[in-house]
Structure 1
Amino acid sequence: MPEPAASPTAFIRTYEQATNSHDITQLAPLIAPDAVYWFTDGSHRGRDAVLTAIGGTFATIRDEVYRIDELEWITADSNYAVCRHRFTWTGTVDGQPRSGGGRGTNVLVNNEGAWHMLHEHLST
């Protein structure tokens, strides 16, 4: 299980690393129970639904490398932080090399000293 991140930026880097592990059990403690994720292919409400959607991506894109770049904090205090960024990914889909990217917005919430992803909106 990842260690709690001290800052929103450290949390985002931990989240990115957990995503690249392709291990749902590393991502689960980073996602708020009442999280809502909006992806290009649909919306997912609640940690279990979010993890199911991410698991589907892991099954589809083999050897994926996910990167968050151009991280910009819109606002951040001790309870909430909001950022926007660019994301890219590379991997193998149906045996063929593929890549993509887009824009992301994240809302983090600090629950008892640990940051959690409350909302993620990724669009291509």
Structure 2
Amino acid sequence: MAPPLIAPDAVYWFSDGSHRGREAVLSAIAETFATIRDDIYQIDALEWITHSNGRAVCRYRFTWTGTVDGQPRSGTGCGTNVLVNNAGAWQLLHEHLSA
């Protein structure tokens, strides 16, 4: 079985709040997918700020479209991700999304 993609001690900062720990992050992501139907999420302008055998950091721009409460919605913003190599498996340790 593959290790989880989200680190156990992950911290995610979204426009609507912060979430600490894998379970809290997974719950926030599930709530987002339950709220936004037919979600299309795209990233571009991806830049790897730094990377080594143990850590990597990237930043990017994102756009999304979908349906919320039966109405078409969309948004844009910037994101930053910190990945760590835990025993040979890359995991997301931190994500910061802002509109």
Structure-2-length-normalised TM-score: 0.94
Instruction: String of CA shifts for 1:61-101, please: whole Å, max 9, x gaps.
Output: 00101112111011001100001100111111111111111
List aligned pairs for 1:10-25, cutoff 5 A.
Answer: none
Q: Give distance in 2, aligned partners of 1:49 and 1:76.
A: 27
Q: Give distance in 1, aligned partners of 2:76 and 2:23.
A: 25
Cα offset, 1:114, TM superposition: 1.4
Structure 2, gaps ≥5 residues long: none
After superposition, the CA RMSD in angstroms is 1.4
Q: Does 1:58 align with 2:68?
A: no
What residue is the counterpart of 2:57 in the other structure? 82
Instruction: Report which of the two has the higher share of helix.
Output: 1
Ranked by relative contact order (alpha carbons within 8 Å, sequence separation 6 or more), the top structure is: 2
Structure-1-length-normalised TM-score: 0.76
1:68 aligned to which of 31, 34, 43: 43
Which structure has the larger Rg over C-alpha atoms? 2
Instruction: Report which of the two has the higher share of strand.
Output: 2
Amino acid across the alignment from 1:59: A
